[in-house]
Amino acid sequence: MSLIIQKYGGSSVASTDHIRRVAMKVASTKIRGNKIAVVVSAMGGQTDQLLALAAEITNNPPGREQDALVATGEQVCAALMAITLESLGHKAKSLLGLQLPLITDDVHTRARITEMQTGKIAQILDEDIIPVVAGFQGITADGSITTLGRGGSDTTAVALAASLKADCCEIYTDVEGVYTADPNICPKSRHIKKISYQEMLELAGLGANVLHSRAVELAQKYQVPLVVKSSFGGEKETWIVNEEEVMENSIIKGVTLEKNVSKISLIRVPDRPGIAHRILSPLAEAAINVDMIIQNASIDGYTDFTFTIPTTDLSKAKELISEVAREIDAEKMLAANNIVKVSAVGIGIKTNPGVASRMFHSLSAENINIEMISTSEYRISCVIEEKYGELAVRAVHKAFDLDNVKEETEI
């Protein structure tokens, strides 16, 4: 008998009709002789609606209360799913993060799991009852409700699969897994059958909205077999596996466009030891992720310092950095959010020299100027002007021979 964790995202449980359809899928998995635990997101759009309510009151709700608010979305859905399963004649029990309990640190709105207790859920499974876990949420050691960051239900599911040593973690969403590029941007994109944890991690971090990064990280660490499927039918699926299991049939696996990118520049900063630390440490303290960093060569003891951050953190970052700018005597601070990041991802990058120049060439052939570049073993990213974002994705996709020439070929 296999133990399967099935996670259903917001679009799969967007209405009670959707929930009924999912419940039937869950039931049929169980009837086939498996043990099954379900993890649900909030009904599609719910989390945004709850956040909008808070925004009617203030732009800056306390993190603790924001978490208490949005966690209700998953609570509603887990209860409705358990009610539906019961109505279909299956025993089911909803479980909140605090009931499991799933313990996290106290970084509200983006908490990390510190401990997943499985005693209660294991007992429910033993009693042949289907546990329906509210994803995305946890509780701190001192009893405050937390959430794991947007899209965090995936992470709940993988953490549960890891702690219960499940045979498989299935993530159900509204697409049939992962594509070489967003099909809405790049009509010639192809479906990917197998991708390595590492490549998936890069894609997830770059705005490919299919899986939560932390979920992929945990799946790799605990070697959880992970598959992404559509809950709306469709045969295709994407397996996320170890690097050795992926056939290296292309250097680049995917091309992404990340829109949630802004940059801040400090102009004419006195170039002396400790400056980078002075600039970036307030951001680190505020848990703002700095991505690319460029410090120009210094001229006459002055330099320019530019870095990118998520646009969602821009106003907070501007506030922090304008204070630093005064303290360190920078001439001025500039901020821009009309930029995007285009990235090519693939395990082939580290073994194939010339990948970067091929990407740069494809952009220059379209007359697109590259403002910033960063590379890693698995990824090359370029910051460019926002208006060229989609064109750039198509150009890079083509340059790496990813375009689908025959109908429906997968990689």
Applying CB under 5 A, the residues found at the interface with Mg ion are 9, 151
73 contact choice in ligand ASP, Mg ion, none (CB below 5 to 8 Å, kind-dependent): ligand ASP
Which of 8, 136, 197, 305 is in the footprint of ligand ASP by CB under 6 A? Answer: 136
**Nearest distance from C-beta of residue 41 to ligand ASP, angstroms:** 3
The set of residues, in sequence order, having a beta carbon less than 8 Å from that of 184 and lying 6+ positions away, is none
User: Do residues 263 and 335 touch, judged by C-beta distance below 8 A?
Assistant: yes
Stretch in the footprint of ligand ASP (CB under 6 A) among 17-25, 147-155, 215-223, 328-336: 147-155
Dmax over CA atoms of the chain, in Å, equals 78
**Nearest distance from C-beta of residue 301 to Mg ion, angstroms:** 49
**Nearest distance from C-beta of residue 172 to Mg ion, angstroms:** 10
Site map (CB under 6 A) of ligand ASP, residues 148-177, x = contact:
--xxxx------------------------
**Nearest distance from C-beta of residue 106 to ligand ASP, angstroms:** 19
Q: How big is the chain by its Cα radius of gyration, in Å?
A: 23
**Nearest distance from C-beta of residue 38 to ligand ASP, angstroms:** 14
Which of 135, 177, 346, 348 is in the footprint of ligand ASP by CB under 6 A? Answer: 135
CA dist., res. 94 & res. 156, Å (int): 14
42 contact choice in ligand ASP, Mg ion, none (CB below 5 to 8 Å, kind-dependent): ligand ASP
306 binds ligand ASP (CB under 6 A): no
CA dist., res. 151 & res. 279, Å (int): 30
CB-wise, 63 or 282, nearer to ligand ASP? Answer: 63
User: Do residues 255 and 293 touch, judged by C-beta distance below 8 A?
Assistant: no
Q: Report residue 335: phi and psi, to 5°.
A: -135, 145
152 contact choice in Mg ion, ligand ASP, none (CB below 5 to 8 Å, kind-dependent): ligand ASP
CB-wise, 172 or 378, nearer to Mg ion? Answer: 172
**Nearest distance from C-beta of residue 152 to ligand ASP, angstroms:** 5
Residue nearest to Mg ion (CB): 9
**Nearest distance from C-beta of residue 64 to Mg ion, angstroms:** 23
**Nearest distance from C-beta of residue 269 to ligand ASP, angstroms:** 37
CB-wise, 209 or 352, nearer to ligand ASP? Answer: 209
Footprint (CB under 6 A) of ligand ASP, residues 21-60: 41-42, 47
The site for ligand ASP (CB under 6 A) is made up of 9-10, 41-42, 47, 73, 135-136, 150-153
